[in-house]
Amino acid sequence: MQTLIRGSLAQNSYIRMDHPEYLDPPHYDGSRLFFWVSKASGVPIDLVNFVIGQLFALLFAAIYRTAFHPSKASATKRHCAALVGGVTLLYFCFGRHAYLVMFLTGVSYFITVFFPAKYVPQIILPLSLVYMGCVHIRRQLMSQTGFSLDVSAPVMVAVQKVTSIAFAWKDGSEKDQDKLTPLQKLQAVRKIPSMLEYFSYILHFQACMTGPTVLYKDYIDYIYGTNYRKHIKSEDILEDSPCSAIPVQDPSPTKAVITKVVVSLIHALIFICICPMFSVGRFKDEEFFISTTFYQRMFYIIIVTTLARSKYYHAWLLADAICNASGLGFNGWDENGNTKWDLISNVKILDIEFATSFRDTLSSWNIGTMRWLRYVGYERATFNPTVATYILSAVWHGFYPGYYLTFVFGALLTGVGRTLRRHVRPHFQSTSSSRKIYDVLTFLGSRVALAYVTMPFVLLEFWPSVRVYSSLYWYLHVLTILALVAVPKIFPAHREKMSTKSKGVQESN
């Protein structure tokens, strides 16, 4: 019987598919109502519950958009429905472990209400990170038994929300608003949310499982129906509604929802049917290194890491579809008059898979988390913002050594990418043919680099990751360091005429 990496979150643990614990993990506390689906399909009950729970959330989203439309229901009813749906979904998937999310929410609200605004983020940020760290450690201990889907993902989402609203409340209480960045001014909260508003924001059913994270002001605009107001002319606004001004006819999310659901299900099938054929567990087998060549190993890494992204694509696209189906995520119209439903989208698949730089890949991956890191970390760092943001990102992800191997080398790759753009790219911009050659070379290089750097992120463990890199002679690490040192000397940066403003920006960097 084939060995399989049990694959939602803890990929470093694997058990045989014919083992009883494969379908029914002993530490999983979620519902067994659909265990018959698990036995019939051969898919573990935790993953079955996740998919079924999200599909029910998708159905409820459509009902919510019509039955609890701002023109028919008050903000209180909309908050209550979103909150009850979220709590039900969490309990269905995680049982009593759902209280870990609710406890963090309650403690954070208590701090927000009873502590001075300027101290609220200083307390909530470290406290929530420590709390989440304990959940991560628990996850790592449980994963040794093959435990897969646990409550750490909802806790991670909740941490983003409680910290972002803590900083928003501090920004709203700031006397000198000129100190704030444009994003901080836009998202500033000037009134403490009620308990219902706060809990609804953290636990609403659309995004309590895997995100995407929506900032508090955007969520409140959605609840009151004013999210459309930013994009619609005043004559198209309906004034006599239970909530604030809303459009006479909402833009339809049907096309966006169907597209995202179909693509999400395709990636779910890839994850279930194809990923087991390319098990990451082979990296722990010495026979793999004996029987393969350098190029075969690199090709296998590219295949494994590419397929591993399918589970994230599935989860994020389905969550985005749920948000859109409920009316959340509208972002206006494009130049052709087509509606855009990407306000809180977490991923741009084509931009990732066809990126020509590591930077472009990162900007299209886990977009909500990148926004949160910028809002909570980068813009508020008291020392090197880049380093501070990488540290925050690493702690938020957890304590698997593979994460840190990926983040540290990823920082180096970001640096070498900047160096190549500055020193090499200008030499390929003289003709259309040379630009195409540069794009092809950077595309291929990005594919190889992305696979190489994310391999530990998929494998999670330290020594197996080191073993893989050693079998590849650490070639990309060596090339990266050489590029940082040698490229500026071999390809001097082109000196172009710049305006005084541009020079000033460059010098400040």
Q: Kindly report the CA angle at 459 between 456 and 462, in degrees rounded to 5?
A: 65
**DSSP β-bridge partners for residue 237:** 247
Round to whole Å and give the CA distance between 345 and 364.
10
Active site residue 49: no
CB 52 within 8 A of CB 32: no
| DSSP character string of 34-84 | THHHHHHHT--HHHHHHHHHHHHHHHHHHHHHHHT-TTTS-HHHHHHHHHH
Closest CA to 311 of 390, 393, 214, 210: 210
DSSP string, 244-313: S-EESSPPP-HHHHHHHHHHHHHHHHIIIIIGGGG-GGGGG-HHHHHH--HHHHHHHHHHHHHHHHHHHH
Say which of 366, 423, 427, 494 is annotated catalytic.
366
Structure tokens belonging to residue 299:
């090709």
Task: Report d(CA 438, CA 436) in Å as an integer.
Answer: 5
Does the bond joining 70 to the residue before it have cis omega, within 30 degrees of 0? no
Of the residues 97, 397, 477, 509, only one is catalytic, namely 397
What are the backbone angles phi and psi of residue 130, rounded to the nearest 5°? -65, -45
- Reading the block at residue 47, the tokens are 């993953």
Q: How far apart are CA 153 and CA 210, in angstroms?
A: 6
| DSSP of 187-234 | H---SPPPHHHHHHHHH-TTTTTT-----HHHHHHHHHTTTTTTTS-G
Cβ atoms of 266 and 330 closer than 8 Å: no
Q: Give, to the nearest 10 degrees, the angle between helix 195-203 and helix 75-94.
A: 50
Structure tokens at 11: 């990929």
346 flagged as catalytic: no
Interatomic CA distance for residues 217 and 220, integer angstroms: 5
Treating both helix axes as pointing N-terminal to C-terminal, what angle do 432-459 and 462-471 enclose, rounded to 10 degrees?
140
**Tokens for 194?**
């009620």
Q: Which two tokens stand for residue 138?
A: 């628990």
In three-state secondary structure terms, 8 is: coil
**Active-site residue list:** 366, 397
